Amino acid sequence: MHITRVDAYAIKIPPKTNDRIEGNLNVERYGDYTIAADAWTSIYSRNHETCLVRLETDDGIVGWGEGQAPVSPRATATLVQDLCTPLLLGRDPFDVEYIWYRLYSAMRERGHITGFYVDALAAVDLALYDLLGKVLGKPVYKLLGGQFRSSVPIYAGIGGSDAASTATAAQEHVAAGYNALKLHLRLGNTALLRIVEAVRGAVGPGIQLMVDVHGTRDVSEAIELGKGLETLGVRWLEAPCQPEDIRGQAEIARALSMQVATGEWLRTVWEWRQWIEHRSFDVAMPDIARTGLSEGKRIAALCDSFNLPIAPHIGGGGILAVAASIHYSLAIPNFQIMEHSHKAHAMKGSIAHSYPEPVNSAFRLPDSPGLGVEIDESVVEKWRL
């Protein structure tokens, strides 16, 4: 068996509503993209954008993967087509870890050790595992080492910029069955704490709350905020300061009793090792559509050796990213909880005939071969850029 065809699809699915960036009052528009006018935060698309990869073997078996590309998915797709495809054609798909390392090594000397190129590798890696699961008739978590748990608990992410509407959104998610919520909030500490206090009052003490501030604090502001959140029973503070500040985030983690969660931007064990050695976080948040499953397993093992739990990041990832993260969460010992976008899930799944659905704030054990997503190729073509 060998790989005979590689296709990369940059897709863009328009939104049903004209939502603002989560947690921001002021945004500026650049075509389909928006960026917060009052904070040094990421650029976002109004659409669901991502990069899909389709692999096919000489036996006609097809595997699908995804490299998370919430903006500029054509960049990731071009890297797959131009750089990954020549190294994939003719390869045995069972050499999955060799393929990841060979692809990574092909550009490491040139400094492409993170970012879009590694996202492209993640898409290929997920497609390989999906393909192998279909060849063997096994769900992917069986290929990753087997089952550590029977379900994957999740939390729902919600945004907000004022106390009343955020509390209402929190109540709606609790009514939908969620017992854990993450609030995306970028306001100043006083206004942010007011929102969290309102949410806590609305949902009660039995609902877990987490807060993501998207790297908008300096060290002292983050510590001040964290201490305020601790009084409200918040489980973790996520991404408190800039991604480059390893030592600053370590200082925050030492100062707070609550968990500090981070890492969605870290793609390889080499990057993760530096953060772990400084004890810069309490909860690791690898994004499997940026690391791939092969590297994701190595990251989980490294974290486990330091007694650090894993809470996979999903963010703007599509339905294949969600499915891969479910299998990953089932197959590692140090899993804690997984991110989920309740309102966006059906839209992400619109490219598929079937896909995993959560039940009572958890994803159940999948039994379909591969990742368990049956892609509708006609819909993928419809939204292809």
Number of H helices, E strands in the chain: 14, 16
**pLDDT tens for residues 150-170?**
999 999 999 988 999 999 999
> Is residue 182 very low, low, confident or very high in pLDDT (cuts 50, 70, 90)?
very high
Please give the pLDDT value at position 13: 97
User: At residue 302, what are phi and psi to the nearest 5 degrees?
Assistant: -65, -45
Q: Please state which of the ranges 5-9, 31-35, 48-52, 205-209 shows the lowest mean pLDDT.
A: 31-35
What percentage of the chain exceeds 70 in pLDDT? 97
65, pLDDT greater than 90: yes
Helix, strand, coil shares of the chain, percent, nearest 5, are 40, 20, 35
From CA 52, how far away is CA 347, in angstroms rounded?
A: 15
Secondary structure class of 352 (helix, strand, coil)? strand
The DSSP call for residue 83 is: I
> Is residue 349 very low, low, confident or very high in pLDDT (cuts 50, 70, 90)?
very high
From CA 312, how far away is CA 304, in angstroms rounded?
A: 14
Mean of the per-residue pLDDT values for the chain?
A: 95
Q: Which CATH class is domain 3-139?
A: alpha beta
**pLDDT tens for residues 271-312?**
999 999 999 999 999 999 999 999 999 999 999 999 999 999
pTM for this predicted structure: 0.96
**Average pLDDT over every residue of 313-336:** 98
Q: How many CB atoms lie within 10 A of CB 8?
A: 26
Which residues belong to CATH 3.20.20.120 in the chain?
Answer: 143-372
2, pLDDT greater than 90: yes
Q: What's at 184, amino acid-wise?
A: H
From CA 385, how far away is CA 65, in angstroms rounded?
A: 17
> Is residue 239 very low, low, confident or very high in pLDDT (cuts 50, 70, 90)?
very high
Q: Report the candidate in 89, 110, 109, 108 with the shortest Cα–Cα distance to residue 99.
A: 89
Please give the pLDDT value at position 17: 65
Which residue carries 């960049």 as its tokens?
Answer: 75
**366, 192 Cβ separation under 8 angstroms:** no
Q: What's at 61, amino acid-wise?
A: I
Q: Please state which of the ranges 19-23, 43-47, 136-140 shows the lowest mean pLDDT.
A: 19-23
* Region for residue 211 given its phi and psi (left: phi exceeds 0; alpha: psi -120 to 50; beta: otherwise): beta
Q: How many CB atoms lie within 10 A of CB 119?
A: 26
**Average pLDDT over every residue of 221-240:** 98
User: At residue 24, what are phi and psi to the nearest 5 degrees?
Assistant: -120, 140
Give the tokens for residue 262. Answer: 């981070």
The DSSP call for residue 211 is: E
Which residues belong to CATH 3.30.390.10 in the chain?
Answer: 3-139
From CA 266, how far away is CA 268, in angstroms rounded?
A: 6
35, pLDDT greater than 90: no
Give the tokens for residue 244. Answer: 């480059």
From CA 33, how far away is CA 129, in angstroms rounded?
A: 32
- Tell how far CA 131 is from the center of its chain: 21
Please give the pLDDT value at position 21: 47
381, pLDDT greater than 80: yes
- Tell how far CA 335 is from the center of its chain: 14
Secondary structure class of 267 (helix, strand, coil)? coil
**143, 168 Cβ separation under 8 angstroms:** no
19, pLDDT greater than 60: no
From CA 271, how far away is CA 277, in angstroms rounded?
A: 11
Q: Higher pLDDT residue, 52 or 35?
A: 52
CATH 3.20.20.120 is right for the domain spanning 143-372: yes
C-alpha torsion 194→199→201→203, nearest 10: -170
Which residue carries 């045995």 as its tokens?
Answer: 92
40, pLDDT greater than 50: yes
**Average pLDDT over every residue of 126-152:** 98
